[in-house]
Amino acid sequence: MIPLYREKDNLIYKLHPFTIAFFIFAIFFLSLIFTHPVYLLSLLAVVFILIVDSGNFKEWKGYLKIAIPLVLIIIIINALFVRVGSTVIYSGPRLPFIGKVRITLEALAYGAGMGVRLMTIISIFCFYTYTVQPDRFMKLFSRFGNKTVFIVTLSIRLFPLMISDYRRIMEVQRCRGVKIDSGGFRNRIKNTFPIVSVLLLSSLERSFQQAESMYARGYGSGKRTVYNRELWRIRDYMIITMTVIAIIAGVASYIKGFGTYSYYPVLTHFDISEFNLLYIVITALIFPAILDWGWKKWPILKLKI
């Protein structure tokens, strides 16, 4: 699972980089302030819808292979070490380093709730990785420190480019009949040396080309100019407006105590009135998916927004 940005033909990838970054930050912020399991599950459902809508479900499944075991570990550790709670499910013998085993429903529920939060955050970062172009995002901060942003951009691009070169070199070696994965350990290391040398040479050539390109463009010789600018469109203003509404509704639900939940000493009951503001949050956050559906169904909408 190697995170490489590939632009796809849908609305999510056509947004202004600030719009999509602000939208992702809003979901991340709400996932941190909410503790209510229904609120957290709703945010996870929103991220799932957006990941599927943006065409990154296959990539998200790779993240789930990491997230699900972590969630199970959180639930198990919380159930074994946290003995707070009134509803005892199992009471067992005393174990070394753990003490007397006392598993409560409240501890399991709290671990599950925090596991859902972790899965939501991991899914948010998956959505960010595959929908936000690093160069476009870093260019937002170029006016505040263009040299620093330039260095950070080169650092971010280094690993994906090396992976791309490694794949290309491996394909060439296989076409030449070189069996890298065959033989003993020493033979595998011996077959890897040519790949490493070619990879190093490719990186050096790229650095020289980058330096020549910067010199030809007069980098650092005067005031910085911009070849192309990110345009703000109607769709950006619409999504930012809905995102602000989601943040306001989410903060209001947190202040009123609707977005929080008490696990200990006894699980509190749900009240349907607690979800009034949640409907606003969810509707506002899935607006980009709804807009993308209209974008695909009515092509004339592309010209309007």
Please state, in angstroms and rounded to a whole number, the distance separating the CA atoms of residues 249 and 271.
Answer: 18
**Domain spans of the chain?**
11-136+234-304
Please state, in angstroms and rounded to a whole number, the distance separating the CA atoms of residues 46 and 124.
Answer: 10
pLDDT tens digits, one per residue of 249-270: 999 999 998 988 888 888 888 8
Point out the residues of the chain with pLDDT beneath 70.
Answer: 1-5, 141-160, 178-185, 191, 219-222, 224-229
pLDDT tens digits, one per residue of 136-173: 777 776 666 666 666 666 666 666 677 777 777 777 77
Q: Which residues pair with 94 in a beta bridge?
A: 100
CA distances from 93 to 85, 103, 142, 163 (A): 18, 12, 61, 51
For 14-54, give the DSSP string.
Answer: HS-HHHHHHHHHHHHHHHHH---HHHHHHHHHHHHHHHHHT
pLDDT tens digits, one per residue of 50-76: 999 988 898 898 888 888 998 999 998
Question: Long-range contacts for 22-26 (Cβ within 8 Å, ≥24 apart)?
Answer: 22/240, 22/243, 23/239, 23/240, 23/243, 23/285, 23/288, 24/124, 24/127, 24/128, 24/132, 26/243, 26/246, 26/247, 26/285
Residue 273 CA, distance from chain mean position: 31
Q: What is the per-residue pLDDT for 290?
A: 92
By the 8 A CB rule, do 60 and 126 touch?
A: yes
Please state, in angstroms and rounded to a whole number, the distance separating the CA atoms of residues 168 and 254.
Answer: 51
By the 8 A CB rule, do 190 and 202 touch?
A: no
CA distances from 216 to 157, 209, 210 (A): 21, 10, 10
Rg (CA), the chain: 25
Helix (H, G, I), strand (E, B) or coil at 101: strand
How many residues does this entry show for the chain?
Answer: 305
How many CB atoms are located within 10 Å of the residue 43 CB?
26
Q: What is the per-residue pLDDT for 155?
A: 66
How many CB atoms are located within 10 Å of the residue 305 CB?
16
